Amino acid sequence: MSGSRGRVPELETTCGALPPQAACLGKMCWLLFLWGTLHTCPTQASVLLAQQLPQQVTSPGYPEPYLKGQESHTDIEAPEGFVVRLVFQDFDIEPSPGCEGDSVTISTRGTDAIWLCGQHASSLESTPGHREFVSSGRSLRLTFRAHSPSQNKITHSHKGFLALYQAVAVNQPNGDSEAVTTPGADCPRIQNHCQDPYYEAKQTGTFNCPSLGTWKDRQDKEQVPQCVPVCGRPVIPIAQNPKTSGSSPAKLGNFPWQAFTSIYGRGGGALLGDRWILTAAHTIYPKDSVYLRKNKSVEVFLGHTDVDELLKLGNHPVRRVVVHPDYRQHESHNFNGDIALLELQHSVPLGPNLLPVCLPDNETLYHSGLWGYVSGFGVEMGWLTTKLKYSQLPVAPREACEAWLHQKQRTEVFSDNMFCAGDENQVNSVCQGDSGSVYVVWDNRTLHWVATGIVSWGIGCGKGYGFYTKVLSYVDWIKRVMDGKD
């Protein structure tokens, strides 16, 4: 098991102790011996110290195919007052029934061990995707076993795994802030343990500091500012090329809020916070009468620009689906209220490839001529794409879109809760499969990306305008739902 930015204070192997001639050559020889041991010994053991910033831990030799007949144990320890949080970024283990062959085991004090194996494993855990594992105490043991192949069996190459581990405060899964008393000070200062730049400390209420030196809220309960997700600031921002036409492939991290949904077909969405997906209502309740079945499964995938990689990372189970009450499924020409929220069962771990988008707060973000981006996994040139694509489109004058609809003798409702984008004389690159994805603009005042629109409806995939749900009209509703008040 290899790790980065951690310490390896002790190594136990079945290959014997450090030879005397190596010990006398000092630190360089020890490092060479350690490297050789990690690559040749069938059993390895190491200890890593978790820090507040994420660090990587991998199976031996990753990303090269791992060798058969080896076993490794890694103990990950957190400082006092913290626990270990582990999230798999890549998981490629040879499948085996019941994890009898190759496997990864996660064990922590006082709980049963969790077994993970290949994608086709039966009854036990399978590919973990972005699932979060948190230790019950200060330490967590990660065991990797690669069975020895039988003589008659053909073995396949598998990379193993890549995971991120970090120390997080006991009472806050995404980091925390704690009050630390400074000698001679009247009030404690706030020590920030939030994972920058993905989370920031924020007071969720009005706090005061009484003479006892403890931060308290209005209900006189001991509190400290909480860690909240940072929205609309990609670690790998898109290179903004002025007025480029057509669609372009997105790089990993350009649109980290992008969701890929599978309900009645493929669709899109955007991450809000670390637990909600903003999407279009018609992806859940389509206008087409063919799709009137109830209780259709809702699958959500996050964290990549490639569909195959998204499927490998795994579906994020949905706890609740909330469709806006103004949406009318049976009115085929009326997409008013075409907005919905999906609450995930578990908060997702934020990182460079997975970050939320911000919500709009003013009308200036809808001025005619303002350029924005729309991304999605929809149809391109008649084919379903396997890569995330994006297009740069201007907010269009409302009068131009109304005249265009009238010219084409269309009867669709174009309400004040919608806006249009694009150009009458250019190909609209938004198409089937992009529904539910968001249109984003850069807010120069707050310096972050804002989801002003949701891909809602259009007239084919040819030249002309596309029509979007105006998110600003529904911000109050969104906040009430996310706060559990609606």
Q: Delimit the domains of the chain by residue range.
A: 2-169, 247-482
Q: Give pLDDT, residue 379.
A: 75
Give the closest residue to 463 by CA, choosing from 396, 413, 412: 396
Higher pLDDT, 204 or 114: 114
Give the closest residue to 314 by CA, choosing from 148, 89, 122, 95: 89
| Range scoring the smallest mean pLDDT among 160-169, 252-261, 355-364 | 160-169
Q: Give pLDDT, residue 17.
A: 35
Q: Give pLDDT, residue 386.
A: 87
Distances (CA, A) of 361 to 25, 73, 86, 438, 471: 65, 50, 35, 16, 10
Instruction: Determine which one of 75, 102, 338, 434 is catalytic.
Output: 338
Exposed e or buried b for every residue in 64-101, given b needs 16+ CB within 10 A? eebeeebbbbbbbbbeeebbbbbbbbbbbbbbbeebeb
Instruction: Determine which one of 282, 304, 316, 324 is catalytic.
Output: 282
Q: Give pLDDT, residue 360.
A: 97
Neighbour tally for 48: CB within 10 Å: 24
For domain 247-482, the question of CATH label 3.30.70.890 is answered with no
Q: Give pLDDT, residue 188.
A: 42
Q: Is the pLDDT of residue 84 over 80?
A: yes
Higher pLDDT, 318 or 202: 318
Express as a percent the part of the chain with pLDDT over 70. Answer: 73
Whether residue 63 has a cis bond before it, omega within 30° of 0 = yes
The CA distance from 315 to 304, in Å, is: 12
Q: Is the pLDDT of residue 68 over 50?
A: yes
* Res. 425 pLDDT band, cuts 50 70 90: confident
> Vertex 169, ends 163 and 174: CA angle to 5°?
55
- Tell me the pLDDT of the chain averaged across its residues: 78
* Res. 1 pLDDT band, cuts 50 70 90: low
Q: Do 2-169 and 247-482 share a fold?
A: no
Q: Give pLDDT, residue 320.
A: 95
Q: Give pLDDT, residue 33.
A: 39
Average pLDDT over residues 321-346: 95
Q: Tens of pLDDT along 215-245?
A: 444 455 555 567 889 999 998 888 766 556 6
Q: Is the pLDDT of residue 463 over 90?
A: no
Q: Give pLDDT, residue 128.
A: 60
The verdict on whether 435 is a catalytic residue reads: yes
pTM of the model: 0.62
- Domain with residues 2-169, CATH architecture: Sandwich (2.60)
Q: Tens of pLDDT along 23-42?
A: 344 444 433 333 343 344 55
Q: Is the pLDDT of residue 348 over 80?
A: yes
Instruction: Determine which one of 103, 247, 435, 456 is catalytic.
Output: 435
